[in-house]
Structure 1
Amino acid sequence: MPPAGHLARFGFTDDARSSALAGPEGLRLWDPETRRPTDDDAATLLDTLYFAADPDLALFQLHRLVEAAGQEVRDAVLTDRSLRRRLIGVLGVSATLGDLLVANPAEWKELQGEQNHRPAGYATRDASTVPLLRSAYRRELLRIVAADLTGAADVDVTMRRLTELADATLSAALAIAAVEHPTSAGVCTLSVVAMGKCGGRELNYVSDVDVVFVAEPLGGAEGADGVDVEVAMRAGSTLAARLMEICGFVAWPVDAALRPEGSRGALVRTVASHLAYYRKWAKTWEFQALLKARPAAGDLELGARWLQELQPLIWSAAERPEAVDEVRAMRRRIVEQIPRTEVDREIKRGPGGLRDIEFAVQLLQLVHGRADETLRTPTTIEGLRALIEGGYVGLADGEALLRAYRFLRTVEHRLQLQRLRRTHTVPDDPAALRWLAHALGYRPNAARDAVESFRADWVRHAQEVRRLHAKLLYRPLLEAVARVPSEQLRLTATAAKARLELLGFADPAGALRHIEALTGGVSRTAAIQRQLLPVLLSEFADAPEPDRGLLAYRQVSDTLGNTPWYLRLLRDEGPVALRLARLLALSRYVTELLVHDPEALRLLADDAELVPRTAAQLATQFAAAAARHDDPETAINAVRASRRRELFRIACADLLGFLDVSAVGVALSAVIDATLTATLGVTAVPAVDRGLHFTVIGMGRLGGEETSYPSDADVLFVYEPPPGMADDAASGLALTVAEDLRRLLARPAPDPPLGVDADLRPEGRQGPLVRSLYAYQQYYARWSKVWEAQALLRARHVAGSVPLGERFLELADTMRFPDGGLTRDQIHEIRRIKARVDSERLPRGADPATHTKLGRGGLADVEWTVQLLQLLHGRTVPALRTTRTLSALAAATEAALIEPADATAMQSAWEQASRVRNLLTLVRGRATDQLPRQGPDLAAVARILGGVEPQEFLDEYLRVARRARQAVERIFDAH
């Protein structure tokens, strides 16, 4: 016996089997005295044994085969390189096949010579008895395995050849059954329709073969030769049952459980009976199963007719309201049925396994195959390729799935070959894992052993499959596409124009031109647009002006159509396409922002991206944008671009229902704060360098953090000169800072300008733009009016020197929360000004019932009432000392300064008016305070607010505003 140490380099680990290499009773491959192979041919054979999945097993089986078949086998293996690789490959991977060869010693010759000169299943076609068929099947299988293991056939070819062998075996079994039962064969014709993996031409080595049997009486469905249909079905059942019995003995079980009603249903049915069942009773999963149906044996014409009749039913199944969810639920149930101890090792049913790929492909086929016949293939690989070519799956994603599918199929094949047993579970035993890794071609290297290399690839593929399965199977666009009727998915000119008219497009011809421009040609871009547009048109049609949405989409697509990520994002990434359609159809404001900043579209892919940034985050972001540029104008352009992106984020979150109106006000105010801070960081540098202190106080809606989309930044500019600087010089420096800030933010640019309004300063527009803190003190002490105290209720530091801002607010507190509240004259003055605002400031022609700002029950009504209570009681009720309207209203209610019912009415009206005012800006793309009583703008606002009828919404608006106005009048009358 040769020492094991010298043989380890050939992969042998079993000392007990090494005697087969030497001695007169062995293979005479090893010279025990020299401890070397006996000759060059022996050395070559030993090298081949090293690459077997299990060298010890291969050696053992080869020794047994030589003992059974004689030295001819040894001589042939030593001299015939092709035979050597095939035979050693088979013997080293499968104990069962080795045993079969030993039991049938002449069959090793099947592995000699050219292996691809005949199709798989050739030998089984003429097998006239069951034993002959079994022997022929085994020989064909041996050839397929050998080609697979030596790389002569890849996994695609191997699956196809196994399917061809199955088809031939089914045909031969049916022929044998017909000979055994001539009476049955004489009254019916039977078609064997392959399903599952066999139907998809992707059969394993060991698998049930799923079939459906279709029969008709000879002479036609009506029994033209006098054959009763019921008699014919009994005959067909006899033939089908015998076919199943034969195949079970020869090769594998035949499973007919996918037939109508499953195992409880009739084994054989006519075409008409099948159609009746599928039309009335079939579930979505049954149509999913029919995707793989393929006539395989028997009367192929009958099978083709059966399948043709079912096509309209298969390709309309996805239109069922529950279809997409049912397919998803079926996949979840499959995973739940796997034992917990095996779920992570299951390469077929487990997460990241073959079923994940198959379900994703099949659902995409069901949904998109209604209009695209190139997707109608039973084969997973062909289906996935068609989905890639049609633009339904991204190229990188599709290629990753193809690689994973082939890898997992190869693993499955190797697992089944060892014992020719049906299994899909990767072993956890170290020895079995090592065998599997070797069978797959992995070998140890300097970095890691074979098992580690296999595991790394397996984990990588499984993770990729899990990710892409979730991405494809749970793509929101799928459900939207499924809701579009099949005939509407085909965007032919005539059909599209008719549909556009039906959907309510005012200019169908113009809309059709947009569609043709987007979908024309054979590029992947056009292909993806053809997928998207039927769904998007439905979304546009839900808006008051469908034409506007389509035009906006055309504008965005013209800007981004050739950008690689654009259409991929719409097709693949969550709800982007549907969100974009809604936004473009409803909001000119969002459309304008997006046209000038197309990259912002990426924000729609992730809910987390639609959460407004905090004030601190914005300050850092905007400051960094400015710091990247030396030129002031360029720096502020970068700040304004950042502001535009944030406005898009907030507007989208608002329209999609992620934010309430208060959150919108806070978010918009934070954007203005950050914009002013970053701009001040540019314009104030020379002044700050000379020691000047400069601060910006927010007033009005900015101060109250209740900013709306069109709001200007109401501010006061405050400075304090450094010691030793003349006030004129300090004032000049501060004025330059303020004027530069206003100029840079108001310059014409692609992004919305930010008006900086300082009209609430002392003396209004007639007074100086900037004042020192001392000048403010002097003015407020000597000349201020009650309305200025009222304006200071919203004063808040927003930018610049924090200490100076705090000192100004201390001064403001003495004005806005005076000792003793208000005098009778001051109350009278507030009421007089309010009455004047009501009568004079409402724009000519405005409707006082629906003007959101100055109308009855509008913003001004609520805010003036709350501010009156703050001025009266702010000194004694600390909770009233807030810049926010609703916070002050809540404090007044808590302090019993206002009846709860009145507070509720005013809060509802304020929130309503604020929300409607924002939405009107978003819809129209420009500021307006007037809610129209009819028309598309009213309809759009109603749609955004929950899809109620416009008149119903208007009635509710008027009711809420009327109750608030009554509450306002009661409170003012009481004071």
Structure 2
Amino acid sequence: MTSAPGRRSSTFTRLLRHGFTDPSAAERLLDTDGLTALRNDPVLLEALGATADPDLALLGLVRLLEAQSGATARQELLDTLIAAKPLRDRLLGVLGASAALAEHLARHPSDWQALVTYEPRDLHPGIEEFERGLAGATDPVSLRVAYRRCLLSIAARDVCGTIEVAQTAAELADLATATLRRALGLAAAAAPEDAALCRLAVIAMGKCGGHELNYVSDVDVIFVGEAVDGGDEGKALRAAGRLAAHMMRICSETTVEGSIWPVDANLRPEGRNGPLVRTLASHLAYYQRWAKTWEFQALLKARPVAGDPALGEEYTTALQPLVWQAAERENFVADVQKMRRRVVENIPAAEIDRQLKLGPGGLRDVEFAVQLLQLVHGRADTSLRSGTTLDALKALAAGGYVGRSDAAQLDDAYRFLRSMEHRIQLYRLRRTHLVPEDEADLRRLGRSLDLRTDPVATLHREWKRHASVVRRLHEKLFYRPLLDAVAALAPGEARLSAEAARERLVALGYADPAAALRHLEALASGVSRKAAIQRTLLPVLLGWFADSADPDAGLLTFRKVSDALGKTPWYLRLLRDEGAAAENLARVLSAGRLAPDLLMRAPEAVALLGDGDGGGLTPRSRAHLEQEVLAAVGRADNAVQGVTAARGVRRRELFRTAAADIVGSYGTESQPAEADQGALVDLVGGAVSDLTAATLAGTLRAVVREGWGDTLPTRFAVIGMGRFGGHELGYGSDADVLFVHEPREGVDEREASEAANKVVSEMRRLLQIPSADPPLLIDADLRPEGRSGPLVRTLKSYEAYYRRWSLVWERHALLRAEHVAGDEDLGRRFIELIDPLRYPADGLDDEAVREIRRLKARMESERLPRGADPKLHAKLGPGGLSDVEWTVQLLQLRHGAREPGLRTTRTREALAAARAAGLISEEDAATLDEAWVLATRVRNAVMLVRGRAADTFPTVPRELGAVGRYLGYGPGHAGDMLDAYRRTARRARAVVEELFYGGS
């Protein structure tokens, strides 16, 4: 039947006005036989227009009417809809929000009557009411039908606004509880002999345990079993396991009626690898000895829901004390925060901006923040021990652990995000936490949340606003109350007690909470602009400090830097306005002693941590450094002042390099940790070597200016040796050098020699003047004749010596020789002189190879410090720096004349060249490179952490943890770091044994 054009136009207009997006299709549906009453009834059209999706609601209603068993049943439904507004709103509301429930009603057309029974006095059914609704289910299929019927009643009251989101979640959890009980009853009825052997308790975890379930979610459970009346425990547990597995299948398997939800038991001890059912004693033993931090966090929501109620209560009574002791575990907060970061890192990049649950500013941010505060403060305050997020948040606010306005904003945001999640899942009854991208889906979602004016744009705006609130408060919530304990608050804000603040600081990893509180008070108290800005900065800074191995040191040094620079306008502006600066500063200050010590000697170097004119953290080139140092020396009045100026540049640039190294190793929120550890090693080695060369150039210039004016009687050059010549200096390395000179034309050789020796003597003296900076020691022991030989020789003297007397070890040492300062032409000619020695045309004879091996073995036996663990000695231990370098250098001595790529002073370059030339396999080269990079990073880490050089891992736990953090190991994983080092070194030593000691 087709409407007349006039009526069609009128109906079309009304449908459009009522929110239909496809009024033509709607009009065709209304023109079918038997639906004339719908088309002509303004009440029904208005009710359809009030739904989330009027088109969907009308389609569902038409299908439901068509599914009725005859005209009488159809008319009864229509009459009831027109007469009863509560039913009309519920039924049409569901049909307009859920295509899945519309399909259920089409398959079970009498189930609409379930909505009639829920009048105002019955609006909040509990577990008993749901159990009655499921009681008739005798198999998995009928259980699914009954479950959907109960779900229909919850959804109807939800979409009509009769219950709010927290009540909806609680009712869904109660329905899940009733369903688990019925499923367990079906499993027991199918295997009565198993049921007679055991007591079985089902413990709900996660959202079900917390009374805050989604429409579609895994239901997390843990099973506890015991034998009946002292029966055989093994038989009882096997029987309980069969019952539990059957119960899980009943809920999880897909039938013609679909599935209910997966039952997930992976939160049990040992996860999937552990037995499905354990005794209470076994559970208790596991949690006392083996459980990880996240497992105690999960137990916060544990609640007995099905099976033997007494056994379930015994379980929670026994386990709850362990939950509230979890915050006392070492690295507790760091473990929880690391787990949260890992969740975010594992979100596919394409989904992160659509994630309601797991992404930044999502539901999980609220839950983690609340749970952390509960576990920290719930030890002493039992009012916080709720498994329900919003109830716990309310209790935290009432107890003063969270500011009331913060709690209110977080509560509001959480409710909005959970409502979004509910409505997204309700549409298809599918488990998802992604905001849809389709315009129609977004429109329906927005309208379901009562956003009727421009629903898509308004939804996006409200969602982003709430997510922003959550993200900000998540970052602030754990840290800000510490400031409230010591600083003036806005009127009406909550205030942590000193004891609560101390507890939270201890949980964060601060070893001296009393001192930390004093620092916070000094930084944040008062009404000055400085205090106001620091109150803004400190919450997140405290978190970054806590992410390190020494939060106390980070906070103390920050106070010192702020005391030194707090009145400097650019300092606070830098930290407040430049995104990277504050986080970089926090990382640098809490990573160890070296960088903070350098910064305290030159606080203005904090400007390097920003993105602006400070130059950033990219090390300067050698040419740039030398130009600056020479200019500073040129402005000085005497040599001492000149070297002091050069040291000032060195101090600043060492800080720049150390900061770049730390930030690259730790990473930041916006920039992950540097993946290529070799790149960091090369950066540090090159930067420190260039800086040392520039410092020596400046010192040489200062000495020459003071003693001789513009021109020294002899040309003079400094040759870098060892790690210096190889561009591989560490923060605490000595500078191995040779000094060479050549008398200028017309200058007596004796006069030239006296001048050269005086230059060397003065350079060493000036550089050894006591200073708080890391020392720069010049070591000339690699010169001809070693310590017995003259400190400086002429080029001709070197030539004569090397021609007549040079030993194998001296050729070996010359492999790393490179001009670093002074006369460039003289330096070039020295390198030309030694090239035939270090890259001999005929390679090495067997006796020379044996000599090198003897020297290496002797060094290993004589130089290793007494009591040191050889396997953990980064320089001299098996697989350490010496092993790799001597192996590479033996290849250079043998093949350097024929392979130009081997003629380099740099270990990694030479190793790559040997691989390219086929002198070493790709696998062996990679093994040696990995070991060399790791050993170098260990030495750098120890210097950064302790402020003094060493070749072994620290023994102090906090220092060892700091080295581990630098190397990428989280809190509590120092043992893993040491094991990894031993494995890497062991593999490298096997290659060295073959190539250096045993190969041809």
TM-score bucket (shorter structure)? 0.5 to 0.7
Q: Please state how far the C-alpha of 1:195 moved relative to its aligned partner.
A: 1.7
SS for the counterpart of 1:54 is helix
Q: Which amino acid aligns with 2:117?
A: E
Q: Please state how far the C-alpha of 1:950 moved relative to its aligned partner.
A: 15
2:901 corresponding residue in structure 1: none
**Residue of structure 2 aligned with 1:10, choices 6, 12, 18:** 18
**Residue of structure 2 aligned with 1:523, choices 484, 487, 495:** 495
Within the alignment, does 1:91 sit opposite 2:100 as a pair? no
Within the alignment, does 1:564 sit opposite 2:535 as a pair? yes
**Residue of structure 2 aligned with 1:606, choices 563, 572, 583:** 583
Which residues in structure 2 correspond to 1:116-515 (within 5 Å)? 116-119=123-126, 122-125=129-132, 128-130=135-137, 137-174=147-184, 185=195, 187-219=197-229, 223=230, 227-237=231-241, 239-241=243-245, 243-244=247-248, 247=251, 251-262=260-271, 265-279=274-288, 286-311=295-320, 315-316=325-326, 319=329, 328=338, 332=342, 347-348=356-357, 354=363, 377-382=386-391, 405-443=414-452, 445=454, 450-455=455-460, 457-458=462-463
SS for the counterpart of 2:50 is helix
1:60 corresponding residue in structure 2: 62
1:678 corresponding residue in structure 2: none
**Residue of structure 1 aligned with 2:511, choices 538, 544, 564:** 538
- Structure showing greater radius of gyration is 1
SS for the counterpart of 1:416 is helix
SS for the counterpart of 1:214 is strand
Q: How many angstroms apart in 2 are the aligned matches of 1:213 and 1:71?
A: 50
Q: How many angstroms apart in 2 are the aligned matches of 1:356 and 1:539?
A: 28
Q: How many angstroms apart in 2 are the aligned matches of 1:663 and 1:551?
A: 42
Does structure 2 retain, via aligned residues, the 8 Å contact 1:646–1:671? no
Q: How many angstroms apart in 1 are the aligned matches of 2:78 and 2:304?
A: 44
Identify if the C-alpha distance between structure 1 residues 581 and 287 changes in structure 2 by more than 3 Å, giving closer, same or farther: closer
Does structure 2 retain, via aligned residues, the 8 Å contact 1:847–1:855? no
2:798 corresponding residue in structure 1: none
Q: Please state how far the C-alpha of 1:159 moved relative to its aligned partner.
A: 1.0
Does structure 2 retain, via aligned residues, the 8 Å contact 1:69–1:105? no
Q: How many angstroms apart in 1 are the aligned matches of 2:756 and 2:24?
A: 108
Q: Which amino acid aligns with 1:272?
A: A
Identify if the C-alpha distance between structure 1 residues 611 and 75 changes in structure 2 by more than 3 Å, giving closer, same or farther: same
Does structure 2 retain, via aligned residues, the 8 Å contact 1:196–1:292? yes
Identify if the C-alpha distance between structure 1 residues 522 and 92 changes in structure 2 by more than 3 Å, giving closer, same or farther: closer
SS for the counterpart of 2:109 is helix
Q: Please state how far the C-alpha of 1:443 moved relative to its aligned partner.
A: 3.9
Q: Which amino acid aligns with 1:56?
A: L
Q: How many angstroms apart in 2 are the aligned matches of 1:384 and 1:593?
A: 40
Which residues in structure 2 correspond to 1:731-810 (within 5 Å)? none
Q: Which one is further off, 555-564 or 662-671?
A: 662-671
Identify if the C-alpha distance between structure 1 residues 46 and 282 changes in structure 2 by more than 3 Å, giving closer, same or farther: closer
Q: Please state how far the C-alpha of 1:109 moved relative to its aligned partner.
A: 0.8
Identify if the C-alpha distance between structure 1 residues 111 and 15 changes in structure 2 by more than 3 Å, giving closer, same or farther: farther
2:553 corresponding residue in structure 1: 582
Q: Please state how far the C-alpha of 1:142 moved relative to its aligned partner.
A: 2.3
Q: Please state how far the C-alpha of 1:274 moved relative to its aligned partner.
A: 2.1
Identity of aligned residues (%): 36
Identify if the C-alpha distance between structure 1 residues 230 and 311 changes in structure 2 by more than 3 Å, giving closer, same or farther: same
Q: Which amino acid aligns with 1:215?
A: G
Identify if the C-alpha distance between structure 1 residues 940 and 148 changes in structure 2 by more than 3 Å, giving closer, same or farther: same
Within the alignment, does 1:108 sit opposite 2:122 as a pair? no
Q: Please state how far the C-alpha of 1:295 moved relative to its aligned partner.
A: 1.6
Identify if the C-alpha distance between structure 1 residues 825 and 188 changes in structure 2 by more than 3 Å, giving closer, same or farther: closer
Identify if the C-alpha distance between structure 1 residues 83 and 323 changes in structure 2 by more than 3 Å, giving closer, same or farther: same
Identify if the C-alpha distance between structure 1 residues 88 and 158 changes in structure 2 by more than 3 Å, giving closer, same or farther: same
Q: Please state how far the C-alpha of 1:140 moved relative to its aligned partner.
A: 3.4
SS for the counterpart of 1:201 is coil
Q: How many angstroms apart in 2 are the aligned matches of 1:835 and 1:582?
A: 40
Q: How many angstroms apart in 2 are the aligned matches of 1:821 and 1:394?
A: 84
2:976 corresponding residue in structure 1: none
Q: Which amino acid aligns with 1:90?
A: V
Q: How many angstroms apart in 1 are the aligned matches of 2:754 and 2:822?
A: 22
Q: Please state how far the C-alpha of 1:828 moved relative to its aligned partner.
A: 12
| CA deviation profile, 1:614-653 (whole Å, cap 9, x unmatched) | xxxxxxxxxxxxxxxxxxxxxxxxxxxx999625657999
Q: Please state how far the C-alpha of 1:149 moved relative to its aligned partner.
A: 0.8
Q: How many angstroms apart in 2 are the aligned matches of 1:587 and 1:390?
A: 30
Identify if the C-alpha distance between structure 1 residues 855 and 126 changes in structure 2 by more than 3 Å, giving closer, same or farther: closer
Does structure 2 retain, via aligned residues, the 8 Å contact 1:186–1:218? yes
Does structure 2 retain, via aligned residues, the 8 Å contact 1:110–1:143? no
Does structure 2 retain, via aligned residues, the 8 Å contact 1:292–1:377? yes
Within the alignment, does 1:26 sit opposite 2:35 as a pair? yes
Q: How many angstroms apart in 2 are the aligned matches of 1:585 and 1:898?
A: 53
Q: How many angstroms apart in 2 are the aligned matches of 1:672 and 1:401?
A: 58
Q: Please state how far the C-alpha of 1:586 moved relative to its aligned partner.
A: 7.5
Identify if the C-alpha distance between structure 1 residues 710 and 580 changes in structure 2 by more than 3 Å, giving closer, same or farther: farther
Identify if the C-alpha distance between structure 1 residues 229 and 820 changes in structure 2 by more than 3 Å, giving closer, same or farther: same
| CA deviation profile, 1:509-551 (whole Å, cap 9, x unmatched) | xxxxx999899997248555543357675389xxxxxx99997
| CA deviation profile, 1:647-682 (whole Å, cap 9, x unmatched) | 5657999xxxx99999999999999999xxxxxxxx
Identify if the C-alpha distance between structure 1 residues 69 and 699 changes in structure 2 by more than 3 Å, giving closer, same or farther: farther
SS for the counterpart of 1:124 is helix
Q: Please state how far the C-alpha of 1:943 moved relative to its aligned partner.
A: 3.3
1:646 corresponding residue in structure 2: 604
Identify if the C-alpha distance between structure 1 residues 787 and 828 changes in structure 2 by more than 3 Å, giving closer, same or farther: farther
Q: Which one is further off, 299-308 or 388-397?
A: 388-397
| CA deviation profile, 1:107-130 (whole Å, cap 9, x unmatched) | 231344445354365242585442
| CA deviation profile, 1:745-795 (whole Å, cap 9, x unmatched) | xxxxxxxxxxxxxxxxxxxxxxxxxxxxxxxxxxx9xxx9957999xx9xx
| CA deviation profile, 1:928-960 (whole Å, cap 9, x unmatched) | xxxxxxxxxxx99993235799999xxxxxxxx
Gaps of 5+ in 2: 590-599, 651-704, 716-742, 781-789, 795-818, 835-941, 956-1000
Q: How many angstroms apart in 2 are the aligned matches of 1:355 and 1:819?
A: 76
Does structure 1 retain, via aligned residues, the 8 Å contact 2:524–2:535? no
SS for the counterpart of 2:267 is coil
1:78 corresponding residue in structure 2: 82
Does structure 1 retain, via aligned residues, the 8 Å contact 2:486–2:525? no
Q: How many angstroms apart in 1 are the aligned matches of 2:350 and 2:609?
A: 49
Q: How many angstroms apart in 2 are the aligned matches of 1:282 and 1:889?
A: 66
Q: Please state how far the C-alpha of 1:400 moved relative to its aligned partner.
A: 7.2
Query: What is the TM-score of this pair, normalised by structure 1?
Result: 0.54
Q: Please state how far the C-alpha of 1:163 moved relative to its aligned partner.
A: 0.7
